[in-house]
Amino acid sequence: VNLAASLIVRPLVMRSLARESTRQRNQIEGLADIQKSLLPDNPQIAGLDYAVHWQPAETAAGDYYEMNKLTELALLPDFQPNGNDIWGVIVGDVSGHGAAAAMEAVQFDAILRTYQGGEGPSPAAAISYANRYFFSRRSRGHFMTVFAMLYRPDTRLLNFLSAGHPPALLRRGRDVHLLGEGDQIPLGVLRDHEYRNNEIV
């Protein structure tokens, strides 16, 4: 009787598990599609040649980047246009893996898009703003590391910060410099933390 029941029940259970697995995979792939739609669409930036490769750790993951031409948004009274654009880049990674981390990255993107930049473009101001709203009424269980930078071609100054993220590499000839190594804490640790900019020519 047990053998007969097993032969009947086991295929039914396996089909049910396969259907559930397909349903969950489709949901995660849908989340991954939403995440991909938020990525920048290779903006044309005067004075900058660049290449980008984005590869999430899983189908949907907490890997994030944003790249923008900011010349029209900067509203800097002292900006001297010389044919090149002001631009900014943010690279981030949410702790953990999978769909939960992907949702945190999507929420970070939504928060960042509400930043108006009233005091002018500043990585520290934007990341301080995003950190305040990255908190919710309940403990998140996640934090996010971020490297953010803004370049002004008229002054040749790069403002940057690392909120717990691995440093960026600046190469000049054979010399390689680390930017933001061990700089500041990740987002989601202290709500009112004020980030500060570093500067390099």
DSSP class per residue in 120-150: -S-HHHHHHHHHHHH--SS--S--EEEEEEE
User: Is residue 11 scored above 80 in pLDDT?
Assistant: no
pLDDT band at 39 (very low <50, low <70, confident <90, very high): confident
pLDDT band at 12 (very low <50, low <70, confident <90, very high): confident
User: Is residue 59 scored above 60 in pLDDT?
Assistant: yes
Helices (H), the chain: 2-37, 71-74, 98-113, 123-134
Q: What is the pLDDT of residue 199?
A: 93
CA distance 33 to 131: 25
Where b means 16+ CB within 10 Å and e means fewer, 34-54 reads ebeeeeeeeeebeeeeeeeee
Q: How confident is the model over 68-97, as pLDDT tens digits?
A: 888 877 666 677 778 899 999 999 999 887
pLDDT band at 140 (very low <50, low <70, confident <90, very high): low
Instruction: Give the pLDDT mean for 169-189.
Output: 89
pLDDT band at 29 (very low <50, low <70, confident <90, very high): low
3-state helix, strand, coil in the chain (%, to 5): 35, 25, 45
Q: What is the pLDDT of residue 187?
A: 93
Q: Name the most confidently modeled range: 9-13, 33-37, 121-125, 136-140.
A: 121-125
